[in-house]
Structures are given as C-alpha cells and as structure tokens.
Amino acid sequence: MKISTWNVNSLRVRIEHVCDWLQQNQPDVLALQELKITNDLFPHERIAACGYRAVANGQKTYNGVAILSREEPVDLVNELPDFEDQQRRVLAATIGDYRVINLYVPNGQTVGSDKYDYKLNWLDALHDFLRKQISMFSNLVVLGDFNIALDDRDVHDPEGWIGNVLVSDKERDALKKILDLGMVDTFRQFEQADNIFSWWDYRAGAFRRNRGLRIDLVLASESLAGKCLSCDVDIEPRTLERPSDHAPVSAIFGPNP
C-alpha cells in the first residue's frame, strides 16, 4: 500500500503534473493540499482518466484538500469536530483497511500574529480529533502539509530560522504532543541522507541551493508504522517547469496491515 501526500499550490495550475505523477508513481492513495478551487470545479474526469477516484473538500482561492484513491473512500469527515472554521483543511476517509486523514495545517504567517494563534488553536482541536481517531482505527495514516519542521534536521539553516514561524517551540511542541498520542514520523524510521526537504521557497534559487524545510509528513499509528517499508520525498516534480513549491512524499506499507 503506497500512500502519498502533495501540496500542489493550485490544482488548476498543477493538474498536468498530478496526472503525470500518478501515472509514473502509481500510489494507492494521494492526498492533495492547497487545491484553491471549489468542489464544483474539481477535475474529476481528468483524475478518473488516470484510474483514480477522488473526494474533495475544496475552497475558493485558498486551502482545499482532496483524497485520490484506487478504492472507494468511505466514512468521510471534512472538518475538525467542535472547531468553528470556514477554512477547508481536513479530509478523512477510510480506504480499504486504512484510515487516512489528510491535513493542510495553517501556515501561521508570523509568530505572535492572529494567524499564529489560529494555527495553535487548530492544532489543539486536531489533537483532540486524532486522540479519538486513534482509538477507533488501528491502521491510521495522518499525512499532509504540517507547516512545522519537527527538528533542526528538517531545516536547511536552523540558526537562521530560530524563533521563526514553522520552527517555533510552540508549534513543535504541538506536533510532538500529537506524536505522543502514538503516531510515528515514518520518514525518520529509516536511514536518510542529510538535508532532505519537501518545500523550497520560489525565491532566490532556494531549490537549486537546496535551502528547504521538511514540513510534509506521513505519520502512522504505532502498530502500522512497524509495517512501513519506506518513506521518501520525490524531488523530481520540483524540477519541472512551473512547479509546486512542495514535493510529494510517499510511504509504503505492507504486505499485511
């Protein structure tokens, strides 16, 4: 079972990249973030032509998430319970034996801003939601754009980023608290080269210089993490013309969850 995540930064602009990537990589599930389109504009025909179903939780201009899969997604949840929010950042679905929760965690803009407070409150509500989901589903995958670099290995220039949004202690503590529920960062289960990132700023040749962050994660519940065979970032789409600023990340589970 190959489960992938990709922040595409506009599905309208990136539909060709997504279709090409699906055909080349053949994941069982692909979680997308930052669609920036409403559900009525979702390109179901294009996705179906690649051999995938899709469920979307879209929004005009901002945010928006979707799950593409071979098998039918059921038991959908499209918001954090007991958290009033107009922003479309959550989509959970059961696909075969797996519970998949696709997240677009708020960016937070700057430490101390209203958007930063919203991010921390959102992460609190996520914690409560995941605590309940973990008790309900043993094969749980929580993946997406977390907008938090968990530790300094995930930051190209840890000194320069100290105190910045995406690396601040409060954000890291909130993510650690979620891991402490019994979730594993599958990427770190494996030996990895240094300086592997999943996002690079469009500016200043950041990708060419590999000045990035690893903020796109595939978390797995502890029992499922033991069956994870690999977790890797695919930087190839970031080299294309007019790329997303994020690269896809894929984890493989198997053979018997």
Partner DNA sequence: ATGGCCTGCAACGCAGGA
The residue from 4, 5, 36, 225 that contacts DNA (CB under 7 A) is 36
Q: State how far the Cα of 80 lies from the Cα of 57, in Å rounded to an integer.
A: 13
Note whether 213 binds DNA by CB under 7 A.
yes
Q: Which is nearer to DNA, 60 or 153 (CB)?
A: 60
Tell me, what amino acid is at 221? Answer: S
What are the beta bridge partners of residue 221?
183
Least distance from DNA to the Cβ atom of residue 111, Å: 11
Comparing C-alpha atoms, which of 104, 110, 106, 216 is closest to residue 163?
A: 110
The residue from 131, 202, 223, 257 that contacts DNA (CB under 7 A) is 202
CB atoms within 10 A of CB 188: 15
The residue from 28, 34, 171, 232 that contacts DNA (CB under 7 A) is 34
Note whether 107 binds DNA by CB under 7 A.
yes
Q: Which is nearer to DNA, 29 or 213 (CB)?
A: 213
Q: Which is nearer to DNA, 125 or 229 (CB)?
A: 125
Comparing C-alpha atoms, which of 24, 17, 21, 27 is closest to residue 251?
A: 27
- Which run of H or of E encompasses 76? strand 74-77
Contacts of 8 (CB under 8 A, 6+ apart): 14, 17, 18, 32, 33, 34, 35, 244, 246
Note whether 153 binds DNA by CB under 7 A.
no
Q: State how far the Cα of 176 lies from the Cα of 199, in Å rounded to an integer.
A: 20
Note whether 201 binds DNA by CB under 7 A.
yes
Note whether 245 binds DNA by CB under 7 A.
yes
- The residue range among 8-16, 21-29, 181-189, 230-238 that interacts with DNA, by the rule CB under 7 A, is 8-16
- Which run of H or of E encompasses 141? strand 140-145
CB atoms within 10 A of CB 119: 25
- The residue range among 43-51, 55-63, 65-73, 94-102 that interacts with DNA, by the rule CB under 7 A, is 55-63
Least distance from DNA to the Cβ atom of residue 240, Å: 11
Note whether 9 binds DNA by CB under 7 A.
yes
Q: If you compute the radius of gyration of the chain from its CA atoms, what whole number of angstroms results?
A: 17
Query: Residues interacting with DNA, by CB under 7 A?
Result: 7, 9-10, 12-13, 34, 36, 60-62, 106-107, 109-110, 115, 145, 147, 165-166, 199, 201-204, 213, 215, 242, 245-246
